[in-house]
Amino acid sequence: MDAARYARIRELFLDAEEQPTDQQISFVHSKAGDDHELVDEVLSLLSEHDAESARREGELAKPVRPPMMATTPTPKPADSDYDLDSDYDLDSAYDSGSNPADLDRIVHAVGPTADPTADPTAGPTVGQSTSRDKEPKQRQGKNLDSTITLQSNQRTHASPRFGDETTKAPQPRNSFWDRRTRRNQRLNSGWLWLAAVLPTALIGSWTYVQVATSQREAKQKELSGLADSVTLSTKGFLDDRAALVESWSRQLAVRQSILELVEIAKQDAPSEELKKAAQTELIRSQLQELSGFSDVKYTVWDRAGTTLASWIPDKSDVGTSIAPDGAANLSRVMRGERVLFGPTRLPRDESGQAPDTELPVMAHMVPVRNTNDLIVAALMVRGIDTFKDFDQMFNEVSETSGLDVYSVDRRGVMITNSPNAVTAANRVELELMPEKIAANLRVSDPGFTIRPSNVGKILRSALPLTISVASATTGKPDVRVQEYNNYVGVPVVGAWRWNEQWQIGVLVEHDAAKAFAPARIVRFSFLILGSLLTLTAFLAARQIAKQTSRAHAAVHPLSRYELISELGSGGMGVVYRARHRQLGRETALKVLRDDRRSGDDRMRFDREARLAASLSNPHSVMIYDYGRSEEGEAFCVMEFLRGITLYEIVSRSGYQEIGRVLLILRQICDALAEAHNMSLLHRDIKPQNVMLSLDPSVGDWAVVFDFGLAKPLNSELGSFQTAETVWAGTPMYMAPERYREPGGMDPRSDIYSVGCIAYFLLTGRPPYMECDPETLFALVLSEAPVAMNIHRGEELPAAIVDLVDRCMAKDPEDRFTTVEDLSAVVDELRSDYPWSTDNARKWWEIHGE
């Protein structure tokens, strides 16, 4: 979900929520028009939204504006904060695993912003607002206090759902087991229902599977065969054109003229001599005769990159050096390769003169050899309709096959005029005019189907390439009969190939709805029949199996744990504070939610537990147990962390001492070093995901948790891989390259987030504070954060500033290469800025446990 889509959903949800309950559905339909996906998402939010719970949660939320320096003790925190899920907070609404149905918590989970010294019994003061009256102000475009921005952006799964210890947290209801008993009752009734419709379901499923499998196999062969055929045709076409141009370079008069120009270039003041040389016109006339084109254009360079001759009448470029972006191609030609230039659109020259053609330019560069067979020059020829013939070849295949067949370059830019893209442009579903598509359109995935109403909201340079183009441009040929989005957001299936010699990709795609229409008809027919049988079976099954023995709980895997309280609920699971009945050890028990039991959800839940369990560093959260019940209930038993997050540390006492910050960074680096050495990235390092407590022996003790977004660097490690089509993580702490390439895997992205934590601890503020996601993205991508001394009110040592700046460098190449390198620098600095156990103990005596 991109920022624009999120804003649209949020706006419509807030408007609908203010309507009377019986009018909400019709209101949503009237506002959403024909956007059925928007209707489904907003109605899903409304169905799960509990306005009273949201109001109560907002009233109990803690003030979060961090004071610059606190002088009085603050109440102790609730016992623990826990990993619920990244889609529990506002920033992680962009997580690839987030569920739009959870946005109701996002919209109303922000509590009032209050002065820490204010009377808690008093009403709202200036700068305070509840979550209910804050939202309309934001929608009216008024400037709100920055504390509201901070509070909404810092909301996280690590934030407790209930207030401080003065507010009694609700105890777990006895219905924890009752819900499972009722589900067992439904399962018993379900078996009876299944028995009634089983024959029809089996026949229908078998028929559908056979038809769908047959169709997929046939479509796979069709796409793969056509992709191979077009790839061979493309290679043959380009090989033939290159061989033709090279044969011209060997023609006696052309070669001799070029060799004479090479000799002239070796004389003193060669520019004037080259401009007067008669060989230039001889080469032109020979190429015109050989090619049959009167408007043929050419350029000749020597080995040094000096232009010896060209088609330009005034010869203004003769004697100049080849453009920097063409030097690499010239080098390849001098090694004996044939090089393809373009297709590309020529820019205006330095004087503003328009190029000689509005069409993309496509040309071949070939070596010129002397009588000793040594390469002494390079010849480039265009103006012989190379692009026109190349484009026509693809258009003919598209029209004949009825599929979308086009070509892309290494950047993922479409270099031919795809008939489908031209049609979309004519329907105003593309941001380009039809004649501007070739060599202009970046084939990126918009994330939704583009309509004329939202075409102006697409910023393709910030979007990831489509699955097919991303794979093709990395040299990975494949055929995919699972749906993916094309450049206008339409689900398609396709095949792709890459020609390494000419650096061109070939793609063949087919609208998924049309490709598998027969299978859908079969499925629809059996669904109608199954619905009729289901209705009959349901009426009979509801009268059977009304009770199930609650003794089942005694043998349930979770019966070993006594539930003490519910800590919170996120997008994937519910976390309870629990105690092992035999050992007496307190734990955090995370149970997969009843409505999140799809195959992907279970595999993602498994992945998080397995990845976290593979870590043994004492600064990483410890996993005690994991398993599933017979009913498929997945659970994970984790270490119960006592303490407060780094975000709450700053909320209580403002910016921190340099020595303490270095100690915390060193412990975070220990946890990340182990993960990185196991080829595992955390991807969501932020103050809310680091718990700090007081250890009697070493003082401050940091623990990194929430591996819900962690991902292996090596995709072959055997763990479940989530799809990367949108951003995953918390935007204000996420490295810039993660916006440009969400699926990019680089340990230096975690190092950037560590730098953001250092900035937050040293200044008491996040590096970037913006309500508007698009503005926040732009700041992270292009702007440096405010200097730390401005927030802190004092100058920081240059070594500390350099450390943070290097971690938060926009270019990954400018950051520390590994976490170990960062740790080494931190160790050097810690000797100059000590933070002892006594220092930590004094802080905890004043500000917390």
Distance CA 345, CA 359 (A): 7
Instruction: Please check the confidence at residue 51 and state whether its pLDDT lies above 90.
Output: no
Could you give the angle at which helices 175-250 and 517-541 cross, rounded to 10 degrees? 180
* Mean pLDDT for the stretch of residues 277-296: 92
The neighbour count for residue 264, using CB atoms within 10 Å, is 17
What is the average per-residue pLDDT within 127-154? Answer: 36
Q: Which of 835, 805, 836 is nearest to 822 (CA)?
A: 805
pLDDT digits (tens, 9 = 90+) for 186-216: 655 566 566 666 776 777 777 777 777 888 8
Q: Which residues contact 668 (CB under 8 A, 6 or more apart)?
A: 619, 685, 690, 702, 704, 754, 757
Residues 6+ apart with CB under 8 A from 93: 1, 6, 87, 103, 106
> Exposure of 106 by Cβ count < 10 A (0-12 exposed, 13-18 middle, 19+ buried)?
buried
HSE-CB at 600 with a 13 A cutoff on CA atoms is 7
Candidate from 112-126, 170-184, 406-420, 703-717 with smallest mean pLDDT: 112-126
Q: What DSSP element (H or E) covers 41?
A: helix 36-48
pLDDT score of 539: 64
Higher local confidence (pLDDT), 384 or 67: 384
C-alpha to C-alpha distances, 265 to 262, 473, 627, 754, nearest whole angstrom = 5, 40, 78, 57
d(CA 601, CA 83): 16
Query: If pLDDT is split at 50, 70 and 90, which confidence band does 121 have?
Result: very low
DSSP string, 322-363: PPHHHHHHHHHHHTT--EEEEEEPPPP-TT-PPPS-SSPEEE
Do residues 414 and 428 make contact, with C-beta atoms less than 8 angstroms apart? Answer: no
pLDDT tier for residue 642 given thresholds of 50, 70 and 90: confident
3-state secondary structure of 13: helix
- The length of the chain is 849
Amino acid of residue 329: N
Residue 145 has pLDDT above 50, yes or no: no
Q: Are 717 and 706 in contact (CB under 8 A)?
A: no
Taking only the tens place, the pLDDT of each residue in 4-24 is 676 687 788 888 878 888 788
CA distance 241 to 95: 48
Q: Helix H segments across 266-323?
A: 270-276, 279-291
Please list, in sequence order, all residues whose beta carbon lies within 8 angstroms of the beta carbon of residue 458, skipping any fewer than 6 positions away.
431, 446, 450
* CB distance 756 to 732 below 8 Å: yes
> ω into residue 477 within 30 of 0, thus cis?
no
Cβ-Cβ contacts under 8 Å for 51 (sequence gap 6 or more): 17, 108
Q: What is the mean pLDDT of the chain?
A: 77
Pick from 5, 157, 62: nearest CA to 650? 62
| Residues 476, 481, 482: CA angle, nearest 5 degrees | 95
State the Cα–Cα distance between residues 621 and 188, nearest whole angstrom: 39
Q: Parallel, antiparallel, or unpaired: how do β-strands 404-408 and 307-310 relate?
A: unpaired
> Could you tell me what percent of the chain has a pLDDT over 90?
39
C-alpha separations of 319 from 268, 327, 356 in Å: 12, 15, 21
Residue 576 has pLDDT above 60, yes or no: yes
Catalytic residue (choose from 445, 511, 684, 706): 684
Nearest Cα to Cα of residue 769 among 810, 730, 727, 805: 730
* Residue 356: Cβ within 10 Å count: 12
336 within 8 A of 367, measured Cβ to Cβ: yes
625 as an active site residue: the answer is no
Confidence band for 141, pLDDT divided at 50, 70 and 90: very low
Mean pLDDT confidence for 228-249: 95
Cβ–Cβ under 8 Å, residues 153 and 732 = yes
Q: Across residues 582-610, what is the average pLDDT?
A: 78
Query: According to the 3-state scheme, what is the secondary structure of 602-616?
Result: HHHHHHHHHHHHCCC
Nearest residue to 637 via CA among 553, 557, 571: 557
Quick one: pLDDT at residue 114?
Answer: 34
Amino acid identity at 315: K
Which pLDDT value is given to residue 187?
59
Q: Where are the beta strands (DSSP E) in 629-710?
A: 634-639, 644-645, 680-681, 690-695, 699-704
Lowest mean pLDDT among 236-240, 314-318, 327-331, 443-447: 314-318
Averaged pLDDT, 809-818: 93
| Residue 842 pLDDT level (bands cut at 50, 70, 90) | very high
711 is in an annotated binding site: no
pLDDT of residue 378: 95
Position 95 pLDDT exceeds 70 = no
Residue 182: pLDDT band by 50, 70, 90 thresholds? low
Among 114, 110, 182, 203, CA closest to 152:
110
Going across the sheet that includes 375-382, the strands are 307-310, 297-302, 375-382, 361-369, 339-344
Judged against a pLDDT cut of 60, whether residue 716 lies above it is answered with: no
Residue 544 pLDDT? 54
**Shortest CA distance to 594 belongs to which of 318, 312, 187, 228?**
187
pLDDT tens by residue, 479-508: 999 999 999 999 999 999 999 999 999 999
Model confidence pTM above 0.85: no
- C-alpha span between 484 and 592 (Å, rounded): 28
pLDDT tens digits along 426-444? 999 898 999 999 999 999 9
* Interatomic CA distance for residues 212 and 218, integer angstroms: 10
In this structure, what are the phi and psi dihedrals at residue 125, rounded to the nearest 5 degrees?
A: -105, -175
Q: Which domains does the chain have, with CATH numbers?
A: 50-157+644-847 (1.10.510.10), 177-239+390-544 (3.30.450.20), 251-384 (3.30.450.20)
